Chains A and B, each alone.
Chain A
Amino acid sequence: MGVFRAMIARTFSAATSRSLRVCVVGSGPAGFYTAEKMLKAHEEAEVDIIDRLPTPFGLVRSGVAPDHPETKIVINQFSRVAHNERCSFFGNVSLGSSVSLSELRQIYHVVVLAYGAESDRVLGIPGEDLSGVHSAREFVWWYNGHPDLSQLAPDLKNTDTAIVLGQGNVALDVARILLRPPAELATTDIASHALAALKESSIRKVYLVGRRGPVQAACTAKELREILAIKDLYVNIKQDDLQITSADEEEMKNSRIRRRVYDLLSKASSSSQTHPSSGQPELHFTFFRKPDKFLESSDKSGHVAGVKFEKTTLKGSGNQIAAGTGQYEDLKCGLVLKSIGYKSIPVDGLPFDHSKGVVPNIRGRVVSSSDVGQPVDGLYVCGWLKRGPTGIIATNLYDAEETVTSISEDIKKKDLTSEFASGREGLLQLLENRKIKVVTFNDWEKIDSEEKRLGSLMGKPREKLTNWKDLLAK
């Protein structure tokens, strides 16, 4: 028996001593595109993708809106990567609490951090802590069944008005989910707790508020077209706000996206009815308003009742900025969703640029903050953690290519595999010692099947499991 074990051990180490052991932290698009390209570029590489959630795919699962199923098709491609024999997915493994960064760097030759941005930018204005004020990320995670936000219970019954701060695609997503007839959402993969709340929602008016003008609105044509097409929706865009300056013309000349978005907004403004009929849902695009403070309700202490805005005007050229005019205006509401940007979370032992909210890097190579500009051996970054929380799923394709190119160049210069790294075996042993239940891709597929099965009973593509206990029980 001892001889047999020794033989197995020898076979094992013989097979792995030539392998490049890579760990990718984060299983969203950045993580999966990185894994895919590493596997392709290095036939000897073994890639382990870890994620703190039991479920893979990051924001493709928890960020993409339930009524955008085509955007989630990329999961098929990511699943094929996970099925590669040189690739493994390990869920419920958290960087920081399950395993430290320095441990990962000992266990793997190469570590790529692709864990995105799980926090929010804050406005830093009075009243931000009032109840009824949420970040769009929290609201999105809530309706998408993210296990961390299943208990959010946003109050959608105390008011008929919601204010969304921001005019990017995430802002449009939350506005659309609030305004679409719940019957239309009932056949999507929206979380049941959210569907139930939306069915009882009294919200009929949504304001999408931007600091600047229609030319600067960050949304894109497809999403704008979609929200404008909601049946029986009254859309309000003030003609005055559509006046453009030569600086605006210049911005549109340089950007096809901006031109097409502006054109859609103009068309919507001129073709809309003059006023809403009673009970008709309303969508207001409000421009040139910067939030100054959140107003507290006099009836419901501690709860938001409105937002005080300062009117703005645009200054400068190229990237025009909003400057306050000293004039103020209040908008009443019972719910505020801040859609002003995500923010990455720093981790022990990781250089971090707090002002930009990213890990300092040169083309994906993490650079030290103490030994300024010097790349940290074997440590790389990809996705939002690398370049900030912007872009689309496809942006990570090119981002991953850049990071993997850097890794490949570095490997050519220094043969990392000459040093032993225990890789997968080392990680699994460590996690077992810590009694951490690892969720494999196979386990995820059981969750996946169960969700699809439950969904089919309700006419939905899937019924998501939304609490940790259920997800870890599989």
Chain B
Amino acid sequence: MLASKSLQLGAQAIKGLSRVSHFSKFVAPATITPRKPCVQDGELYSTTATSSADGGNEEKEKISVTFVDKDGEETQIKVPIGMSMLEAAHQNDIELEGACEGSLACSTCHVIVMDVEHYNKLEEPTDEENDMLDLAFGLTETSRLGCQVIAKPELDGLRLALPAATRNFAVDGFKPKPH
């Protein structure tokens, strides 16, 4: 446990050094000391991860993602490239529902991308994702499903807001919703 923690800290320290010279741009792999691949607590590699061009000897790069809950509380986590935001949230005990567990059959992992620049860097939603977003509560112009937002280097610093559960459930004047 301790050994893996110091490895983790080591990785952060090295990243910190590299970042100084490259601002927010992705740090080229060559500047990172190759490490033996390992699985650390809470950093399991997603099965949806695309294969690394560098081969298996490097630990996956991670990006920084901040979740902002409906009360404004912020939680910053590190997400390995290739992992979905839903999976990352669950591994870090962030309260993001995922009723259908990432099968594009619900809208409960709805997140709001807080920076338009990051939103624009995402792949366009598929018809299937749009069909589910239709049903999401508190839908905004920069809404996406958390299970479809996959960590990539350009998203470092991503800020995701969890939608507020502000719904009026009074039956009077209730607008019929599909089921």
Contact = CB atoms under 8 A, between A and B. Distances in A.
A402 B105 CA distance: 24
Nearest to B137: A398
Interface in A54-70: 68, 70
Contacts of B107: 392, 394
Contacts of A220: 131, 134-135, 178
B139 interface: yes
Contacts of B137: 394-395, 398
A187 B97 CA distance: 29
A221 interface: yes
A358 B174 CA distance: 13
Given A73-B101, A169-B178, A221 B106 contact: no
A401 B101 contact: no
Contact of B108 (A219, A225, A394, A401): A394
Nearest to A399: B169
A260 B178 CA distance: 14
B128 interface: yes
Contacts of A392: 106-107, 135, 177-179
A386 B170 CA distance: 9
Interface in A20-79: 68, 70-71, 73-74, 76-77
Interface in B146-179: 165, 167, 169-171, 174-179
A221 B165 CA distance: 24
B49 to A, nearest CB: 22
A256 interface: yes
Contact of B97 (A168, A170, A363, A397): A397
A401 B100 CA distance: 19
Nearest to A387: B169
B103 interface: yes
Given A168-B179, A256-B134, A257-B135, A393 B169 contact: no
B171 A387 contact: yes
Given A169-B179, A390-B176, A70 B171 contact: no
Contacts of B178: 168-169, 218-220, 257, 390-392
Nearest to A226: B131
B167 A73 contact: no
Nearest to A401: B165
B130 interface: yes
A398 B100 contact: no
A391 B175 CA distance: 10
A386 B105 contact: no
Interface string A357-384: 0100001100000000000000000000
- Residue among A170, A392, A395 with the most chain B CB within 10 A? A392
Interface in A381-425: 386-395, 397-399, 401-402
A77 B100 CA distance: 9
Given A220-B134, A222-B128, A399-B169, A70 B105 contact: yes
Interface in B113-162: 127-128, 130-132, 134-135, 137, 139
Contacts of B179: 168-170, 389-392, 395
A446 interface: no
Interface string A242-279: 00000000000000110010000000000000000000
B81 interface: no
Given A70-B103, A74-B100, A398-B167, A222 B132 contact: yes
B130 A74 contact: no
Contacts of A170: 179
A356 interface: yes
Contacts of A356: 171
Contacts of A319: 175
B104 interface: yes
Nearest to B172: A356
Contacts of B135: 220, 257, 392, 394
B99 interface: yes
A393 B171 CA distance: 18
Interface string B77-115: 000000000000000000001011101111110000000
Interface string A338-358: 000000000000000100101
A225 B131 contact: yes
Nearest to B166: A398
Nearest to B163: A398
A218 B176 contact: yes
Contacts of B177: 390-392, 395
B130 A260 contact: yes
B120 to A, nearest CB: 20
A206 B104 CA distance: 28
Contacts of A358: 171
Contacts of B139: 256
B17 to A, nearest CB: 42
A389 B171 CA distance: 11
B127 A398 contact: no
Nearest to B107: A394
Contacts of B106: 71, 74, 392-394
A260 B165 CA distance: 25
B174 A388 contact: yes
Contacts of A388: 171, 174
20 contacts: A73-B100, A168-B178, A168-B179, A218-B176, A220-B135, A220-B178, A221-B127, A221-B131, A222-B132, A225-B127, A257-B134, A257-B135, A353-B171, A387-B169, A390-B177, A397-B99, A398-B169, A399-B169, A402-B165, A402-B167
Interface of A: 68, 70-71, 73-74, 76-77, 168-170, 218-222, 225, 256-257, 260, 319, 353, 356, 358, 363-364, 386-395, 397-399, 401-402
